[in-house]
Chains A and B, each alone.
Chain A
């Protein structure tokens, strides 16, 4: 019941990220904006009705199997709608293949592969063969790594200048992207074959008679390539620390409001609340004039709340509580709970001005 809504919670933000990235680098508004948004809502809702597809092999009986196979296949529809809308966004646009855009396109391609194997799990009879094999592992990695992680990387490259005022290197970024794409396909694509040949998951050893050694070897090499790619990304992030924060307001020519303010944003964000007349306030069309520029200095003093340690205190108490509960040590649970409660209480009743 928990597991499946959770994976949709993981993918929906990444879908949102690429719905921001694709229009910017295609120089076109998101195709079918309303449909994309409502598809997201439908996915979030349907996501609650598919969970028993993890239990097809546990003997639920034909009726439950059919219902959950049906709901699972149904969720492919809003997902497919989104995919077509993203492709429609790029169609005929002025594409700029920045690292962020490459990751967004990689998301679409990889997520389609993961989605197709997902539909093959939805068919309960086929799933009985696939349960607990590497075929399932291949599916989850195409949707979670090829989907969510690539989407998050797209967002990192896109918003890094806004977050830090410093640009990530595009050339290192492209090395990162291509190594990631090659590495993940090398690691996860052979799992489809090894899985169907009977490679069980969550088992560290297997018989060489199974005939999957070559496939597993490829997966291992692919995993190493992904590791190297991620090191390139870490290096890319770390090296920006030494640069001056000189990123312009809007390095990508984006249309949304965050690009109207300096990078990184000042603590008060907007000098005054902007008047927004369209969905893409920084792009102007016949119907929507250009947004009025914001004054550089706030017209009147802006009240900004001070920093606080209490949210950190509360967050610190929670893992202590969880560790205590997991190790069956009630005193540690109580200590964690006390830290958590004190943190929340002081946070709630903190003076607004510090």
Chain B
């Protein structure tokens, strides 16, 4: 990884080819989440049995999770800025903070899922259960991947293998992280706020 980034490919587009490829990946992710969100909307209000969304969704708790994820995006911005100016001490701190805030979000989702299961909402209980778990679960899987990615960068930074020369790696991680964050804003609005 370190070797690659020091020999970044020059392209005629004036854009790093890895960044270009990553935007294409984000495009395909938009299609994935777009189809899951549409599925949720199509089956909304069509559950024949409970529990129904308004009975168990906990908006104050999820608002806290959302705030936590938004703050992790802020930490990501600070991490990238620190790495770009070569301040690896700050860079390490903010990478770890971003990953930890992601873990807090995942912990919240774990608590939420186990609470819902306790209330009797399983994956196959009703249409709400199926569409809700698949949509938020896919998002949670993305956050998990992001946390693993951030922790890997943090470990690389601890070993001194991450510096301003690898800023593009951190920038692409940031693109992913902000994307996952934006998707959550949409999910939070569609699933929790507009009931």
Contact = CB atoms under 8 A, between A and B. Distances in A.
Interface of A: 345, 349, 351-353
A352 B3 contact: yes
B4 interface: yes
A352 B148 contact: no
Nearest to B5: A352
10 contacts: A345-B148, A345-B152, A349-B1, A349-B152, A351-B1, A351-B3, A352-B1, A352-B3, A352-B4, A353-B3
Interface string B1-13: 1011000000000
Contacts of B152: 345, 349
Nearest to A352: B3
Interface string B135-157: 00000000000001000100000
Q: Which 3 pairs of residues, A with B, have the shortest CB-CB distance?
A: A352-B3, A352-B4, A349-B1
A349 B3 CA distance: 11
Contacts, number: 10
Contacts of A351: 1, 3
A351 B5 CA distance: 12
A353 B152 CA distance: 19
Interface of B: 1, 3-4, 148, 152
Contacts of B3: 351-353
Contacts of B1: 349, 351-352
B145 to A, nearest CB: 9
Nearest to A353: B3
A93 to B, nearest CB: 35
A310 to B, nearest CB: 14
A85 to B, nearest CB: 29
A99 to B, nearest CB: 38
A7 to B, nearest CB: 20
Contacts of B148: 345
Contacts of A349: 1, 152
A345 B1 CA distance: 12
A168 B140 CA distance: 52
A345 B3 CA distance: 17
Nearest to B155: A349
A352 B3 CA distance: 7
A353 B6 CA distance: 13
Contacts of A352: 1, 3-4
Nearest to B4: A352
Nearest to B3: A352
B154 to A, nearest CB: 13
A325 to B, nearest CB: 13
A348 to B, nearest CB: 8
Nearest to B148: A345
Nearest to B6: A352
Contacts of A345: 148, 152
A351 B3 CA distance: 8
A353 B2 CA distance: 10
A349 B155 CA distance: 12
B10 to A, nearest CB: 12
Nearest to A350: B1
A109 to B, nearest CB: 37
Contacts of B4: 352
A351 B2 CA distance: 8
A165 B3 CA distance: 33
A353 B148 CA distance: 23
A345 B148 CA distance: 9
Nearest to B149: A348
A351 B1 CA distance: 6
A351 B159 CA distance: 15
Given A349-B1, A352-B3, 8 more contacts: A345-B148, A345-B152, A349-B152, A351-B1, A351-B3, A352-B1, A352-B4, A353-B3
B51 to A, nearest CB: 24
Nearest to A345: B148
Contacts of A353: 3
A345 B147 CA distance: 13
B173 to A, nearest CB: 12
Nearest to A344: B145
A353 B4 CA distance: 9
B5 to A, nearest CB: 9
A6 to B, nearest CB: 16
A2 B148 CA distance: 32
A352 B152 CA distance: 16
A68 B4 CA distance: 49
Nearest to B152: A349
A305 to B, nearest CB: 10
